[in-house]
Amino acid sequence: METKAALLALAALSQDSRLRVFRTLVQAGPTGLAAGQIAELTGIVPSSLSFHLKELAHADLVESRQDGRFVIYTARFATMNRLIGYLTDNCCGGNPCGPDEAACDTAPAAHPEDLAS
């Protein structure tokens, strides 16, 4: 993932309502949810929800498809995984540690000059 795309995704997720919507769609899985269901589950009024969904779509974090008279929204798991990969690339200065916080806490610290690259 390029830095520009990561910044766009992080900016989209840095707003409470959009983060709530995205997490709801992640929990729904690949089948997704209709806009009305998202509004119901998140407590976001439909007029505001459409704005937030547009921002998430612009950041490539959600996609939509027509299903009869409903628009179904799904999280873009590939984008989410690329963002996670971007954030954790070279975790712990390249030393193996894994996603466990305790493992990262015990990994040798990276030297500042190593982080400049």
CATH of the domain at 28: 1.10.10.10
- Domain range for 57 is 3-80
Domain count, the chain: 1
pLDDT at 89: 84
| Any domain includes 29 | yes
| Chain segment 5-43, per-residue pLDDT in tens | 999 999 999 999 999 999 999 999 999 999 999 999 999
| Any domain includes 94 | no
| Any domain includes 34 | yes
For the full predicted model, state whether its pTM sits above 0.85. no
Can you list the positions of beta strands (E) in 1-117?
33-34, 62-67, 70-75
Is the Cβ–Cβ distance between 55 and 18 less than 8 Å? yes
| Any domain includes 95 | no
| Any domain includes 62 | yes
Q: Indicate left, alpha or beta for 64 from its phi (over 0: left) and psi (-120 to 50: alpha).
A: beta
pLDDT at 93: 73
| Chain segment 33-90, per-residue pLDDT in tens | 999 999 999 999 998 999 999 999 999 999 999 999 999 999 999 999 999 988 888 7
pLDDT at 88: 86
Give exposure, 50-81, as e/b (b: 16+ Cβ within 10 Å): eebbebbeebbbbebeeeeeebbbbbbeebbe
